[in-house]
Amino acid sequence: MTNTVINGKQIDVTHLHLREWLDCIRENKTPSANIEVAYEEGIACLMAHRSYLEKRQVFWDEVNRKIV
């Protein structure tokens, strides 16, 4: 679990994201971290993991949508 400190209190960040998501559904707004952002962040994490395991630099092939 990831926490952040707001006004001296530890707050569960997951709860904040869930609350924002539900508010966006209710108010027909776009969340600050939409699916496109999540996709790009996921790719970056997967690339870092593969690079670490294979001990080499990896690249993203946008055309074929895969790590090379």
26-29 LR contacts (CB < 8 Å, sep 24+): none
- 37-48 per-position pLDDT tens digit: 889 999 999 999
CB of 43 closer than 8 Å to CB of 36? no
Structural domain count, the chain: 2
Please check whether residues 66 and 41 belong to one and the same domain: yes
Q: What range does the domain containing 68 cover?
A: 34-68
Please check whether residues 29 and 40 belong to one and the same domain: no
CA neighbor of 35 nearest in space, from 51, 24, 49? 24
- 1-57 per-position pLDDT tens digit: 577 888 998 888 887 788 998 999 999 998 887 788 889 999 999 999 999 999 999
| Distances 59 to 16, 35, 42, 63, 67 between C-alpha atoms, Å | 33, 21, 14, 12, 6
Please check whether residues 38 and 20 belong to one and the same domain: no
Please check whether residues 24 and 40 belong to one and the same domain: no
As a whole number of angstroms, the distance between CA 16 and CA 38 comes to 16
